[in-house]
């Protein structure tokens, strides 16, 4: 289990600042995570938090779950259609 630290929350706010529809903001967040956490086998393990992977700038596939932590820290709000 991971918790969003200030850096992960800032990442979510940066993606949210892109504006647009919720899906566009989710794609922006995914792109930011991809740009800031390089895939590097052995860089992290199952016990590494998303915050630690972001701080290190490297990780493996599960570290891209950082985007999920970021969404929890700064949720992408949706507006109900009228």
Beta strands in the chain (DSSP E): 38-39, 58-59
**Band of residue 67 on the pLDDT scale cut at 50, 70, 90:** low
What pLDDT was estimated at residue 50?
A: 85
Question: How far apart, in whole angstroms, are the C-alpha atoms of residue 36 and residue 53?
Answer: 9
pLDDT above 70: residue 76: no
Residue 17: half-sphere exposure toward Cβ, Cα within 13 Å = 7
Q: Encoding tokens for residue 49?
A: 């938090």
pTM, entire model? 0.75
Q: What is the pLDDT of residues 27-61, one digit of tens each?
A: 888 889 899 999 999 999 988 888 899 999 999 98
**pLDDT category of residue 62 using cuts at 50, 70 and 90:** confident
């Amino acid at each position: 289990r991971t918790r969003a630290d200030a850096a992960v929350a800032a990442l979510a706010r940066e993606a949210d600042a892109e504006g647009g529809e919720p899906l566009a903001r989710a794609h922006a967040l995914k792109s930011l995570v991809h740009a800031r956490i390089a895939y590097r086998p052995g860089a992290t393990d199952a016990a590494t938090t998303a915050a630690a992977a972001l701080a290190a700038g490297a990780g493996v596939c599960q570290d891209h779950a950082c985007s999920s932590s970021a969404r929890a820290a700064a949720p992408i709000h949706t507006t109900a259609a009228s």
